[in-house]
Structure 1
């Protein structure tokens, strides 16, 4: 049977909404004050980038544990270009994977990144349908 996610999103007034998540946590969505909102929550398109980084990051964190790799710090920078015309969407997205540590196993870490972007990350696959993706891996040896 197919897996289905059901999200309930409730208007809170003005331009704010509260959206449920199957995890049991809720999040607030809003727009900037200059756009008529209160700036009290996450912006919808930016949330998509967080979802992309989070999905891929979870894959990689899991692989770091499985491969018993020595990584002091790991972060993902996601830089997206919005189209000028409405409806505005991300047409180009750069995803930078940054690994920090003394004993970085670069080949294994790159393999973890590749497995995420090519095999495991469903959000990455969704982004491929509408955006040109550029992937960069950066190793910071301390």
Structure 2
């Protein structure tokens, strides 16, 4: 059986919208002032990158917990190239996983990333349909 997500997005005037989430929370979407908006919300394409990092990050965080790995800090940098022609879309995306700590188990952390990228992260799979992905792991040993 498949799952269906239903999101409602309401126009607030000018170029702003409010969109709900299956979590019960909502957020505002808007354009920059130079594009005719009020710069009062998040940008749609940038939200896609946040969704990508968040989806994979949740997988990796769950695996860090499951494997009882020591990580002081973990963050993801997502850098995307936007095409020049309309409709503009991301054709290349680099996802950098940064781990900081004194006792990083690099092999297991890389395994956690690989599992997310290759098996668990549905947003990653969606991105694969339209973009070339470059996955990088950076260990910052203290």
TM bracket, shorter-chain basis: over 0.9
Whole-angstrom distance in 2 between the partners of 1:20 and 1:80: 25
In 1, Cα distance between the equivalents of 2:52 and 2:21? 16
What is the rounded CA distance, in whole Å, between the counterparts of 2:89 and 2:137 in structure 1? Answer: 25
5+ residue gaps, structure 1, are: none
Alpha-carbon shift at residue 125 of structure 1 (Å)? 0.1
Spell out structure 1 runs of 4+ moving beyond 2 A: none
Q: How many residues align?
A: 142
Q: Could you tell me which residue of structure 2 aligns to residue 59 of structure 1?
A: 59
2:132 is the counterpart of 1:135: no
Q: Distance in 2 between matches of 1:139 and 1:54?
A: 19
Q: CA deviation at 1:130?
A: 0.1
Cα offsets for 1:10-29 (capped at 9, x unmatched): 00000000001010100100
Q: CA RMSD in A?
A: 0.3
In the TM superposition, residue 112 of structure 1 has moved relative to its aligned partner by 0.2
Q: Which residue of 2 aligns with 1:105?
A: 105
User: Which residues in structure 2 correspond to 1:61-76 (within 5 Å)?
Assistant: 61-76=61-76
1:1-142 pair list within 5 angstroms: 1-142=1-142
Deviation at 1:141, TM superposition (A): 0.4
TM-score (norm 1): 1.00
Structure 2 distance, partners of 1:121, 1:6, is: 20
SS at match of 2:99: strand
Q: CA deviation at 1:124?
A: 0.1
Note the residue ranges of structure 2 that are not aligned, 5 or more in a row.
Answer: none
Q: Distance in 1 between matches of 2:31 and 2:55?
A: 24
| Cα distance between partner residues in 2 of 1:134 and 1:22 | 29
* TM-score, reference length from structure 2: 1.00
